[in-house]
Structure 1
Amino acid sequence: MNRWVRAAAVVLLACVVAACGRVKSDHMTRIEHGLSPSPDSAVIVFLRPSGYGGGVQSSVYDVSQSGGQEFIGIVSGGTKIAHAVAPGKYLFMVIGENADFMDAEVEAGKTYYVLVAPRMGMFKARFSLLPIHADAKAKYSIASERFREWQRDTYWVENGPTAQRWYSDSRESIDRKRITYKRTWNKRSAEDKAELYLHAGDGI
């Protein structure tokens, strides 16, 4: 085999592994259990069961306050992270090659679930936040067997000093993506945004 062909084959194999493997983030810490909601708070669980785009890490944020974001954590393939919030309305963001957003309204004492879903991008994986609804007829439902499989196939991680340092180092790039893609989000129709809305009644 020509050495150039061999080299191309090695590069292709590396790309396949990066695209499909579950590459874990060194910045997050594995833990045994997630958070439980309190009478004064709700918990939102971001989970990423798919190994597609595994070479690209997805990071999630609370961008409810104008002009900035709260770093929630990095969600690798096969992991999930819990985030406690006060009851109310929120806007969340996920970062990959792009930035994408999801509206939410939550009630105290409930746990909500959001799918971190990878898709093909221009140069690497992009991500979306997809609400998992209580309605059994919804495309993504907490009543489905698929949801139970996602729960079994993911393990808990939490933020820590290493992840916070990563966020500080990456802040400028994240700010640029938030500002750029938020303009696109703001132009979307109310009907489009309604499909990406986590409702208060979706909690369990």
Structure 2
Amino acid sequence: MKIRFASFMVVGALSLAASSLPAQEAAQPALVTKAGPIPAAPADKGQIIFYRPGSLMGAALGCTVHEGAGEVARLGSGKYWVHNAEPGKHTYNTEAENKDVLNLEIEPGETYYVKCKIGMGIMAGRPNLSPSDRAEFAKKAKGMNLWKPKD
């Protein structure tokens, strides 16, 4: 009798914990920028938020992000871009005085954050792509503008 009761309590506790997980995820507020809220990632694709925090270092320089020969985003200081990508392996790069490469494994329905920072170079700034997270982006999001590609 005691064993059955203990087993029931453990199963009940695990069920309660599992049922509260979606509520915790749903409790996260939407990220809001100057352009408005950022939508959730599509269920069949991954979403990458490329961003460049506003700073005086390299303020006049852009951070152009490529995937292969294609341009994904051209980020000025205080700009971001939401890029939807097919699931799988992707390689993003930026190039100026140096070339920086970031490899990502994209999962459907997931959101990834990539920060582009401009460092000191000999003749020009050196763009650097680095993985980031929601919390770091959220600190800067309210002051950021959406990059608008030219047609």
So what's the TM-score if we normalise by structure 1? 0.52
Distance in 2 of aligned mates of 1:119 and 1:131: 16
Give % identity: 25
Residue 44 of structure 2 corresponds to which residue in structure 1? 40
After superposition, the CA RMSD in angstroms is: 2.0
Residue 142 of structure 1 corresponds to which residue in structure 2? 134
Distance in 2 of aligned mates of 1:33 and 1:147: 13
Distance in 1 of aligned mates of 2:54 and 2:128: 12
Q: Deviations over 1:2-50 (max 9, x none)?
A: xxxxxxxxxxxxxxxxxxxxxxxxxxxx955556421111110110013
Q: Structure 2 vs 1, CA of residues 160 and 109 (structure 1 numbering), >3 Å: closer, same or farther?
A: same
- Structure number with higher helix proportion: 1
Residue 175 of structure 1 corresponds to which residue in structure 2? none
2:84 corresponds to which letter in structure 1? A
Q: Deviations over 1:141-177 (max 9, x none)?
A: 434xx4322222322123222xxxxxxxxxxxxxxxx
Q: Deviations over 1:61-103 (max 9, x none)?
A: 112xxxxx22112100100011111111110011333221101
Q: Count residues with an aligned counterpart.
A: 117
Distance in 2 of aligned mates of 1:95 and 1:101: 9
The structure with the largest alpha-carbon Rg is 2
Residue 14 of structure 2 corresponds to which residue in structure 1? none
Residue 160 of structure 1 corresponds to which residue in structure 2? 150
Q: Structure 2 vs 1, CA of residues 142 and 35 (structure 1 numbering), >3 Å: closer, same or farther?
A: closer
| Gap runs ≥5 in structure 1 | 1-29, 64-68, 133-140, 162-204
- Structure number with higher strand proportion: 2
Q: Structure 2 vs 1, CA of residues 36 and 70 (structure 1 numbering), >3 Å: closer, same or farther?
A: farther
| Gap runs ≥5 in structure 2 | 1-33
